């Protein structure tokens, strides 16, 4: 059990990195609190697995420190860090039975057989592996093997943290849901720090209390699923989280707000004040399709856009429209009337975010 | 399904002919010799299993069969563990890996009789580096007169010649193990021995099966190297089965007993190979 702190951490796979793009992990500071359930969310190749391997000690960072409870552990091996890690593809010891597989990390620690027995049975119970305990691991199906791999990670309850590297990739969808619940239960039961790497936002938000979104070797936002949804700290978070992602419009500064083409979007006074400091930066406004307000019929103060098409997704509809040359989306509830050809809409000020060079412009509320 | 006609069998004919000429016809010729006493093409007598009975009771053959088994057992016991050990020590990437691979491959490229000649000279007490050096060190060594020395020399020669094969096979097997297994083992705090025992060895099983079978068959049929090195001596100390067979067939022209013996020889190799195969794949079949 430990708090994991990443201090000025950076990593590059090339021997002599000089440009920022040579880095798989760009310099970062981050803290995983003891006992938290965290997700590390990001697209393929953003450095998630690299970061995980650095935490577990399979990889040594080119710069900075990994600290467990304030102590630097850079030079310690995974064994010494006492960390458990579950990999994307199942790793089982073929020649052993399921029982021996689960017992393996415990026996390597020199635990006595009676305790091994009870721990293995406990974890087999949770993962529903009991009927398989005496089967050779080689003869299992892929998802049974992955359950065994996970079991080997979960069986040690004294670990500093358990790291999951997209562990449910090979698992059937209906089992995925069950196993995620199981992990959550185990987390509540043992209060171990868990870091769960995934590229699936649903997986991340069902498992984790807080999500770190990674993009281009950096953690661009760290927050609860709700924060990520309501106030994306980076345009990538807006785009990556939510379905469909955030509407982003490139804008220029103007009197009283920002504008694109012929449309002026007024901003709050606080934001207008900040705008002055942001000269020379690339400005974007973003609003989630869920927060675009669609008026029923004609409304004078609203913006008028041309309807392009409507997708019916069952419980809701996605409206795609063209607003002054920008193709944007809005979400319509089931009972809302579907506009034809023209639509009147507005962007509620509280949900309209301003981004400068991709980062959210924060103002005091 | 109803059989329309049997024309499809014509498609099998080429394979059948090929196998017939490469295996069945030569083998049946040997079978033919083994059940007859032939003086000339017109003077031949059917003798049934007489030749078999004779070769199975021949003490000379018993002796060389025993020697053969001891030799093959020694070869396997030395070369398989040594080959695995070398493969584990070889560098995994970079220039040194290529260099090692080339060095390991060299003995495999040398013709059998040249290998025999190399060791014949290398071991000589008068002009051979090894023989001369050993004697200078006060160790009396002469493979031409001492049985033990002859055996050791033949074995070392075979180890030198063929351990590379085992090592290269194992090396390729080891390279095929995904990194994640080693990572998982480190996370599980496995000792080096446990990594070897539970990851490397099980994953090497299929290449080891090939290595064991090849080394058994080759060593059981060894002929050229000991023939060049010791000529089967001193006495009959290093006369192995194939050499005894050659003496019988070509030296004494006893074609009948030699044919019977060849078939027995063939069946022994087949049987032992089958035993190895069954023993090593036994686990996979128990589901």
Closest to A262 measured CA to CA, from A218, A204, A303: A303
Strand partners of residue A25: A11
Phi and psi at residue B275, to the nearest 5°:
-60, -45
The CA-based dihedral angle spanning residues B97, B99, B100, B103, taken in that order and rounded to the nearest 10 degrees: 160
Q: How confident is the model at residue B287 (pLDDT cuts 50, 70, 90)?
A: very low
CB contact under 8 A, B188 and A108: yes
- The number of C-beta contacts closer than 8 angstroms across A and B is 55
CB contact under 8 A, B188 and A105: yes
- ipTM comes to 0.78
CATH classification code of A4-236: 3.40.50.300
Distance between B89 CA and the closest CA of chain A, angstroms = 21
Cα A329 to Cα A310: distance, rounded to the nearest angstrom? 9
CB contact under 8 A, A95 and B283: yes
pLDDT of residue A272: 84
Strand partners of residue A344: A304
* Region B56-65 average pLDDT: 88
Q: Is the previous residue joined to A244 through a cis bond, with omega within 30 degrees of 0?
A: yes
Minimal-distance CA residue of chain A relative to B189:
A79
CB contact under 8 A, B188 and A104: yes
pLDDT of residue B1: 64
What is the CATH architecture of A247-360? Beta Barrel (2.40)
Cα A106 to Cα B142: distance, rounded to the nearest angstrom? 56
CB contact under 8 A, A89 and B180: yes
Ranked by mean pLDDT, which of A167-171, A264-268, B67-71 comes out on top?
B67-71
pLDDT of A214 higher than 70: yes
Return the domain boundaries, chain A. 4-236, 247-360
Q: Where are the alpha helices (DSSP H) in chain A?
A: 48-56, 78-81, 98-108, 113-127, 142-154, 173-190, 201-207, 225-230, 235-240, 269-277
What proportion of chain B, given as a percentage, has pLDDT over 70?
98
Cα B205 to Cα B212: distance, rounded to the nearest angstrom? 10
Cβ contacts of B202 on chain A, cutoff 8 Å: 93-95
Cα A118 to Cα A150: distance, rounded to the nearest angstrom? 17
| A11-55 residue pLDDT tens | 888 877 777 778 888 888 888 888 888 999 988 888 888 898 899
pLDDT of residue A103: 92
Q: What three-state secondary structure class fits A17? A: coil
Minimal-distance CA residue of chain B relative to A86:
B184
Cα B203 to Cα B182: distance, rounded to the nearest angstrom? 12
The domains of chain B, with CATH numbers, are 58-285 (1.10.3720.10)
- Residue A105 is nearest to which of B181, B189, B203, comparing CB atoms? B189
pTM, full prediction: 0.79
Who has greater pLDDT, A113 or B3?
Answer: A113
pLDDT of residue B214: 93
pLDDT of B238 higher than 90: no
Cα B6 to Cα B152: distance, rounded to the nearest angstrom? 60
Radius of gyration of chain B (CA): 24
| B14-33 residue pLDDT tens | 999 999 999 889 889 889 88
* Substitution target from B176, B179, B182, B189 for chain A, most A beta carbons within 10 A: B189
Contacts of A348 (CB under 8 A, 6+ apart): A291, A293
Distance between B103 CA and the closest CA of chain A, angstroms = 30
Q: How confident is the model at residue B75 (pLDDT cuts 50, 70, 90)?
A: very high
Residue A69 · residue A19 · CB < 8 Å: no
Closest to A276 measured CA to CA, from A188, A356, A184: A356
pLDDT of residue A171: 80
CB contact under 8 A, B198 and A96: yes
Q: Is the previous residue joined to B234 through a cis bond, with omega within 30 degrees of 0?
A: yes
Residue B63 · residue B236 · CB < 8 Å: yes
């Amino acid at each position: 059990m430990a708090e994991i702190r990443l201090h000025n951490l950076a990593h590059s796979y090339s021997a002599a990195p000089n440009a920022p793009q040579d880095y798989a992990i760009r310099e970062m500071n981050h803290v995983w609190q003891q006992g938290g359930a965290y997700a590390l969310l990001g697209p393929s190749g953003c450095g998630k697995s690299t970061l995980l391997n650095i935490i577990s000690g399979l990889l040594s960072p080119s710069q900075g420190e990994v600290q467990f409870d304030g102590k630097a552990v850079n030079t310690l091996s995974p064994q010494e860090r006492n960390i458990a890690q579950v990999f994307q593809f199942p790793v089982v010891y073929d020649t052993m039975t399921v029982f021996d597989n689960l017992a393996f990390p415990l026996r390597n620690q020199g635990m006595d057989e009676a305790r091994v027995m009870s721990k293995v049975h406990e974890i087999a119970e949770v993962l529903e592996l009991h009927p398989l305990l005496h089967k050779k691991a080689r003869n299992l199906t892929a998802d049974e093997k992955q359950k065994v791999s996970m079991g080997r990670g979960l069986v040690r309850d004294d670990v500093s943290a358990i790291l999951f590297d997209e562990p449910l990739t090979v698992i059937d969808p209906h089992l995925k849901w069950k196993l995620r619940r199981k992990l959550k239960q185990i987390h509540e039961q043992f209060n171990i720090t868990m870091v769960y790497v995934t590229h699936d936002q649903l997986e991340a938000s069902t498992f984790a209390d807080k999500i770190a979104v990674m993009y281009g070797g950096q953690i661009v936002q760290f927050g609860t699923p709700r924060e990520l949804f309501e106030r994306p700290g980076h345009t990538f978070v807006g785009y990556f989280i939510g379905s469909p992602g955030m509407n982003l419009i490139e804008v220029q500064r103007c009197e009283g707000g920002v504008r694109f083409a012929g449309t002026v979007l007024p901003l709050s006074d606080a934001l207008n004040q900040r705008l002055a400091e942001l000269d020379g930066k690339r400005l974007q406004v973003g609003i989630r399709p869920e927060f675009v307000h669609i008026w029923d019929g004609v409304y004078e103060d609203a913006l008028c856009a041309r309807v392009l098409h409507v997708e019916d997704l069952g419980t809701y509809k996605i409206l795609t429209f063209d607003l002054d040359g920008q193709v944007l989306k809005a979400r319509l509830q089931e009972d809302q009337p579907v506009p034809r050809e023209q639509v009147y809409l507005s962007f509620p000020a509280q949900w309209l975010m301003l981004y400068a060079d991709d980062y959210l412009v924060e103002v005091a509320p | 399904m109803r059989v329309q006609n049997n024309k499809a069998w014509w498609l099998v004919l080429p394979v059948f002919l090929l196998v017939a000429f490469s295996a069945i016809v030569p083998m049946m010729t040997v079978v033919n010799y083994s059940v007859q006493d032939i003086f000339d093409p017109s003077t031949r007598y059917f003798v049934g299993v007489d030749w078999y009975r004779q070769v199975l009771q021949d003490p000379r053959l018993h002796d060389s069969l025993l020697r053969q088994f001891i030799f093959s057992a020694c070869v396997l016991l030395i070369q398989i563990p040594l080959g695995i050990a070398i493969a584990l020590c070889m560098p995994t990437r970079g220039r040194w890996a290529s260099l090692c691979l080339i060095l390991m491959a060299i003995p495999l490229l040398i013709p059998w009789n040249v290998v025999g000649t190399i060791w014949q000279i290398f071991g000589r007490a008068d002009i051979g580096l090894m023989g001369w050096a050993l004697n200078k060190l006060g160790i009396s060594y002469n493979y031409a007169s001492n049985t033990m020395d002859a055996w050791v020399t033949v074995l070392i020669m075979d180890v030198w010649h063929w351990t590379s094969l085992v090592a290269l096979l194992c090396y390729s097997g080891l390279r095929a193990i995904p990194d994640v297994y080693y990572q998982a083992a480190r996370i599980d705090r496995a000792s080096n021995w446990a990594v070897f025992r539970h990851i490397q060895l099980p994953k090497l099983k299929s290449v080891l099966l090939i290595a064991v079978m090849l080394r058994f068959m080759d060593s059981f049929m060894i002929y050229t190297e000991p023939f060049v090195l010791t000529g089967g001596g001193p006495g009959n100390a290093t006369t192995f089965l194939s050499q005894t067979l050659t003496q019988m067939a070509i030296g004494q022209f006893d074609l009948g007993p030699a044919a019977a013996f060849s078939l027995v020889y063939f069946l022994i190799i087949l049987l032992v190979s089958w035993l190895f195969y069954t023993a090593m794949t036994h686990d996979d079949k128990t589901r």
